Amino acid sequence: MEERDLRQLIGQVKAGRLSRRSFVQMMVGLGLTAPMATQMLASAGVAQAQTKAAPYKPTKRGGGGQLKTLWWQGATLLNPHFATGTKDQDGSRIFYEPLASWDPDGNLSPNLAAEVPTLQNGGVAKDGRSVTWKLKKGVVWHDGKPFTADDCVFTAEWVADPATASRNINTYKDLKVEKIDSHTIKITFKKPTPFWADAFVGVGGMVLPKHAFEGYKGDKSREAPANLKPLGTGPYKYVDFKPGDMVRGELFSGYHMPNRPFFDSIEMKGGGDAVSAARAVIQTGEFDYAWNMQVEDEILKRLEQGGKGKADIVAGGNIEHIQINFTDPYKDVDGERSSLKAPHPFLTDPAVRQALNLLVDRASVQEQIYGRTGIATANFLNQPARYASKATKYEFNVEKANQILEAAGWKKGSDGIRAKDGKKLKMLYQTSINQPRQKTQAIVKQASKNAGIDMELKSVTASVFFSSDVANPDTYAHFYTDIQMFTTTMTQPDPELFMLQFTSWEAASKENKYQGRNITRWRSEDYDKLFRAAESELDPVKRAALFIKMNELVIQNVVVIPVVFRPRVAAVANTLRMEQSGWDSDFWALHNWYREA
Amino acid sequence: MSKYFVRRLLILIPVLAGISLVLFTILALAPGDPFEELATNPNVPPEVRANLRAQFGLDDPIAVRYVRWFTSMVKGDWGFSFVSRVNVVTLIMQRLPTTIAVIGSAQLLGLLIAIPIGVYSATRPYSIFDQIATTCAFLGFSLPTFFTGLLFILFFSIYLDWLPFIYRADITATGWRWWWEHIRQAIMPVAVLGLAQAASMTRFMRSAVLDVIQLDYVRTARAKGLAERITIVKHVVRNALIPVVTLISLQVPTIFAGALITEQIFRVPGIGSLLISSILANDTPVVMAITFVFSALVVIFSLIADLLYGWLDPRISYR
């Protein structure tokens, strides 16, 4: 889809002929994210939609008893800027709040901000170099001190400091925050920034209190007592924390929204596994909410028959995909395997990659393994079935794969395996230890055997596979196999960082200690050009068109084979009223949770 | 005997130092790193990860790290967890009460079941009671704890809905209600563990009593006209208990390591689950602290077992 077509669609939304919702869904179908789509509309002057708030019924604060939640990976620390996973971000989100959050439709929903900055109200500058946020008045921290612009300025500086070694440093290092008055801040970006809604928004945007972290800057940052006893503005205040086991909070009577929160206390219990967590919510009703149900759909359906709870599914940006190695994992060049200097013997042949793409039976993987929790897709950036992009669609056809390979000169030998010029189509396929993944591997292996490709399966324990240990050959970054499979999480609503993993300068190698983000080691000048253009493109529509093209380039060249996109699945008790967002933390709207008998 | 005691104590120190060296080396050589979750996140720049590793001293050579750890441990500073920056001692102390309560009760339950049944079985060998008890004992220690655990959950939590199956260390209730809630949630893990223990202890008790009951002095006691009950309790059991007591004292350190599988199934926040999650997260200081304390306990309790045996049985002498 060209930029021209996108502008036409936006024009239609402006004129009222196309609903906002349909536009957003179409953009998601092309591989963009909902927040990007809403930003496109906002830049064209289409009025920002109000977050469609689900009705909040309780008429007074408190009285709801205890909210019991289950995170099968327990939170290990309570500072969101040091989080090593969503469990820590969620644990922190109980107590801290950002200026705004992402709702499920990709709109910004204000928390500590008085209103969302837009072009119309002058919050967003036309040249893309600054944003002005107006802060809500009357907000207090849990210890009673008032929340002011000083806290925002301090948080930005604290996170941007490289000595703090915060995981959110990229969001805050290229900007400056200045205080205009006690409840207004202005963010100035070093260079024109198309996606401005990153700083102070969502999980990376929680504001820390200046008076609690004042004496703990730089390398002293990890010693702050507030890291373990959080002091925030959220609906619940800190009571107790046992790392890996339990986080407890109680109602904060000075909370800045009326009649909220409903519950008197909250508990976030950790440990165990996903299936027993699903059981505890859906079958026995011991808990009200459980996070990240990586459970087979068949089991979830059986549990739901108990009638106490259900699985709540919402779209996000995570994609389970198979990566193709463009370098040779078995050849050692200067002590490095999978080196850029040694191209792969047969995966660099586009015919082989196209054949592989045809051998992944996504429909079966969805039906038999993931069910509602995994939706077959052809795009690397997610895609709902109704709005399939014409340029990218998936197909499962063993016959066609055979034909393609035959035509490219890969003839079957006496052992049934195809070979050409002495090179056999024998592949090693690795992934982490996880039952649905092992089943997917078996399905792909079976289909490949019918096409004359011999596949050997390998599975590595998750804590090793996903580690960044330079010396360990089994990590996904080393990629010492021919193909590998895992889920990449798109933690930000903006795809720029996500698409960075196909640029040639990010190729992982021994030199950069395998920390480069381009693990397939694919290099393409066209892609690099498109990426550079998108980086500095201010016009959200032009930018979106560039990302769509980048996605198509990746899919058409079969650099990765997307399998299923993974929506977020949570287990929710039938009496609990809450809303999940795929673009933010599970607790993005914790203040609105209540129980209805 | 005091010479023996002092000698054993002196040997303890190099043994413990050697154990700590082996543990540390193995952990340092193991793959994986504590910041793995940051690796899959495209948002985190590689410099930040590298910075973190340098900050925690993960890139220094093994010998340097070992000496650093050993010297601070001797001073009483056990370090802090890489993952959560909490003092290791605090972490262990948070989990200790639960471990002692659940695992300790399980051991006690095991003993309370095993001793009477073992003794009674031995006094009537090959009777119906004995056959049943033996069968149950074999069943008990062949069925793995995860199986019995899941079975219990299926029956008592899901079908009958009598007991909760997620252990919560912080129940917000007071008075007898607090006790009642705690007992309700502890019944299943304690039963699972206790029955597994009881199974092996029963057999051991039974064979110990059988050994003693055939001896001459028992026959004399019976001939003297002593009531059967008094013969058994006052003479037989006391002597049969000697080997059993030493076995029990050797098992005490295992309370500390907890029962890993049971803790996973029931989500009991004990030291065992702390050990497992620290290993998986490559949280070296915590793993070192726990395994070191465990090995120290094993060494100390084996010393206690030796001394106890010598004290209980006057025929043993030390050289």
- Chain A, residues 152-211, CB within 8 A of chain B, namely 162-163, 165-171, 204
pLDDT (tens, 9 = 90+) of chain B, 319 residues, equals 678 888 888 888 899 889 888 988 888 777 666 665 555 555 566 677 677 777 667 777 778 888 888 888 778 788 778 777 788 888 888 888 888 888 888 989 999 999 999 999 998 889 999 999 999 999 888 888 889 888 998 888 888 888 888 887 767 667 788 888 888 888 999 998 888 888 888 999 999 999 888 899 899 988 988 888 888 888 888 888 888 888 888 888 877 776 778 888 888 888 888 888 888 777 888 888 888 888 888 888 888 888 888 887 778 777 6
Contacts of A513 in chain B (CB under 8 A): 46, 50
pLDDT of residue A383: 40
Partners of residue A246 on adjacent β-strands: A242, A269
Contacts of B52 in chain A (CB under 8 A): 165
Residues making up chain B, counted from first to last: 319
- Between CA A517 and CA B40 the distance in angstroms is 9
Q: Which of A76, A167, A286 sits opposite B43 (nearest CB)?
A: A167
pLDDT of residue B33: 63
pLDDT of residue B36: 58
Which residue in A187, A190, A186, A224 sits closest to A208, CA to CA?
A: A224
Residues making up chain A, counted from first to last: 597
Q: Which of B85, B161, B282 sits opposite A77 (nearest CB)?
A: B85
Mean of per-residue pLDDT scores for chain A: 86
Cα B124 to chain center, whole Å? 32
Name the residue with higher pLDDT: A38 or A282: A282
Give the model confidence (pLDDT) of B184-239 as tens digits. Answer: 888 999 998 888 888 888 999 999 999 888 899 899 988 988 888 888 888 888 88
Residue A388 has pLDDT above 70, yes or no: no
pLDDT of residue A180: 93
pLDDT of residue B31: 66
- Between CA A143 and CA A211 the distance in angstroms is 10
Strands A454-460 and A426-432 come out as parallel
Poorest-pLDDT segment among A30-34, A169-173, A327-331, B90-94: A30-34
pLDDT of residue A144: 93
CB A175 within 8 A of CB A205: no
Q: Is A505 on the interface with B (CB under 8 A)?
A: no
**pTM of the predicted protein model:** 0.80
Residue A115 has pLDDT above 80, yes or no: yes
Whole-angstrom CA distances from B39 to A160, A477, A517, B59 are 20, 9, 9, 17
Contacts of B282 in chain A (CB under 8 A): 463, 467
User: Within 13 A of A281's CA, how many CA atoms are on the CB side?
Assistant: 31
Partners of residue A251 on adjacent β-strands: A236
Contacts of B94 in chain A (CB under 8 A): 242, 245
pLDDT of residue A385: 33
Backbone conformation region of residue B64, classed left if phi is above 0, alpha if psi is from -120 to 50, else beta: alpha
- The CA distance from B38 to the nearest CA of chain A, in Å, is 6
Q: Look up residue A313 and give its DSSP letter.
A: E
Contacts of B281 in chain A (CB under 8 A): 76, 463
Give the model confidence (pLDDT) of A71-99 as tens digits. Answer: 988 888 899 988 877 888 899 999 999 99
- Chain B, residues 243-272, CB within 8 A of chain A, namely 264-265, 267, 269
Give the model confidence (pLDDT) of A236-246 as tens digits. Answer: 999 999 888 89
Nearby residues of A94 by Cβ (< 8 Å), 6 or more positions away? A234, A235, A236, A247, A249, A266, A268, A587, A590
- Chain A, residues 375-404, CB within 8 A of chain B, namely none
> B41–A283: do the CB atoms touch at under 8 Å?
no
- Contacts A–B by Cβ distance under 8 A: 157
Q: Is A286 on the interface with B (CB under 8 A)?
A: yes
> B164–A286: do the CB atoms touch at under 8 Å?
yes
Backbone φ, ψ for residue B221 (5° rounding): -60, -45
> A248–B170: do the CB atoms touch at under 8 Å?
yes
Give the model confidence (pLDDT) of A243-278 as tens digits. Answer: 888 999 999 999 999 898 999 999 999 887 888 899
- Chain A, residues 253-282, CB within 8 A of chain B, namely 265, 267, 269, 271-273, 276, 279-280
> B85–A244: do the CB atoms touch at under 8 Å?
no
Q: Is A302 on the interface with B (CB under 8 A)?
A: no
Structure ipTM = 0.73
Grade residue A481 by pLDDT with cuts at 50, 70 and 90: very high
- The CA distance from A468 to the nearest CA of chain B, in Å, is 6
pLDDT of residue B34: 64
> B44–A280: do the CB atoms touch at under 8 Å?
no
pLDDT of residue A267: 93
Indicate which of B166, B271, B277, B278 best probes the interface with A, i.e. most A CBs within 10 Å of its own CB: B166
Contacts of A163 in chain B (CB under 8 A): 51
Crossing angle of helices B238-257 and B271-280, rounded to 10°: 40
Q: What is the 3-state secondary structure (H, E, C) of chain B?
A: CHHHHHHHHHHHHHHHHHHHHHHHHHHHHCCCCCCHHHHCCCCCCHHHHHHHHHHCCCCCCHHHHHHHHHHHHHCCCCCECCCCCCEHHHHHHHHHHHHHHHHHHHHHHHHHHHHHHHHHHHHCCCCHHHHHHHHHHHHHHHCCHHHHHHHHHHHHHHHCCCCCCCCCCCCCCCCHHHHHHHHHHHHHHHHHHHHHHHHHHHHHHHHHHHHHHCCHHHHHHHHHCCCHHHHHHHHHHHHHHHHHHHHHHHHHHHHHHCCHHHHHHHCCCCHHHHHHHHHHCCCHHHHHHHHHHHHHHHHHHHHHHHHHHHHHCCCCCCC
pLDDT of residue B282: 76
Q: Is the dihedral of CA A445, A446, A448, A454 positive or negative?
A: positive
- The CA distance from B257 to the nearest CA of chain A, in Å, is 17
